[in-house]
């Protein structure tokens, strides 16, 4: 096993990392959604936002792995931070630098690794966004471009903890975060010729609750609806509160048929008489981008929003 080299400026690099104030903090949705999306759209077993401290690598976010840190001397990310390029190991089992590494010979049984360095304002590489697979694999040019794009988003979150991409009331992604993720996911989908679906939802009855019971009761209704969406949708779906009573779901690798299944799941969950909490209902609109008819994030949102309002009007119009 080859332990990663220690760069000459490592003391300054570690100081820059500590200056971020991020080490040993609680998980945050704005990082977790990056690893969820990376794992899903790049088709890997594990995705991690990893920060390389003096003697350890600590994971701000993981998807597919329960461990929170490992020793730096056995880390792949310790190698990845030595250069600006994406560091790729197609087959760790056949690579003399890693073949006897305990991360390869035992859990999590790494075979494929790719890590993109995360550089903060001081110019120091403090960690990586990395993806891991348990089978050998090559990293295509398109996949490398997507990994770089997602790493740039993680880097921005590290550099500015005040960057507002999370809705304070629900903990969901906000509109700004959704647009950031959506553009990356759509670009990746177009390169990979995969579908993407959007679902726009309007929570029914919020104004009445606010007017009759007060805004605290309205906030509780919003949180209950957000929790319901989180519980019945997939972990890879990006769920956003746009504003007020309007929500959006961005479903990668999901065509119109898949969207209809997700919509049915939401409606069944809301209608379940055994579901705890307040009674909830919503108007829902759908839109999708296909390989033969790619859409922008803005056009998808406009189409789904229009479909949602049409569904709302249809519910209000008596039949006959």
Q: Catalogue the active-site residues.
A: 245
Alpha carbons 286 and 309: distance in angstroms, whole number? 11
* Residues 61/158, Cβ–Cβ less than 8 Å: no
Alpha carbons 231 and 276: distance in angstroms, whole number? 12
Q: Where are the beta strands (DSSP E) in the chain?
A: 46-52, 56-63, 69-71, 87-89, 112-119, 125-133, 173-174, 196-203, 238-243, 246-252, 282-289
Helical packing angle, 175-192 and 141-159, nearest 10°: 170
* Residues 147/87, Cβ–Cβ less than 8 Å: no
CA angle 253, 144, 64 (to 5 degrees): 60
Among residues 225, 223, 202, which one has the least CA distance to residue 305? 202
């Amino acid at each position: 096993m080859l332990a990663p080299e220690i760069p000459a400026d490592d003391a300054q690099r570690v100081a820059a990392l500590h200056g971020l104030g991020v080490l040993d903090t609680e998980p945050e949705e704005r990082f977790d959604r990056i690893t969820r999306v990376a794992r899903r759209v790049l088709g890997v077993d594990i995705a991690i936002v990893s920060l390389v401290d003096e003697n350890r690598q600590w994971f701000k976010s993981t998807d597919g792995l329960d461990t929170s840190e490992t020793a730096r001397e056995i880390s792949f990310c310790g190698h990845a931070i030595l250069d600006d390029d994406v560091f790729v190991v197609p087959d760790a089992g056949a690579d003399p630098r890693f073949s006897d590494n305990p991360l390869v010979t035992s859990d999590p049984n790494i075979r494929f690794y790719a890590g993109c360095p995360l550089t903060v304002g001081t110019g120091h590489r403090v960690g990586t966004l990395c993806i891991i697979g348990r089978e050998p694999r090559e990293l295509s040019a398109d996949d490398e471009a997507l990994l770089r794009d997602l790493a740039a988003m993680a880097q921005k979150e590290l550099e500015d903890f005040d960057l507002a991409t999370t809705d304070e009331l629900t903990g969901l992604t906000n509109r700004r975060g959704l647009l950031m993720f959506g553009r990356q996911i759509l670009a990746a989908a177009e390169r990979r010729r995969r579908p993407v679906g959007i679902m726009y939802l309007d929570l029914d009855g919020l104004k009445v609750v606010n007017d009759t019971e007060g805004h605290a009761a309205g906030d509780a209704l919003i949180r209950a609806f957000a929790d319901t969406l989180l519980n019945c949708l997939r972990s890879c779906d990006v769920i956003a509160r746009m504003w007020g009573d309007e929500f959006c779901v961005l479903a990668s690798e999901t065509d119109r048929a898949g969207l209809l299944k997700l919509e049915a799941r939401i409606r069944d969950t809301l209608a379940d008489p055994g579901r705890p909490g307040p009674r909830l209902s919503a108007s829902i609109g759908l839109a999708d981008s296909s390989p033969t008819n790619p859409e922008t994030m803005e056009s998808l949102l406009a189409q789904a929003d229009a479909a949602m309002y049409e569904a709302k009007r249809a519910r209000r119009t008596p039949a006959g």
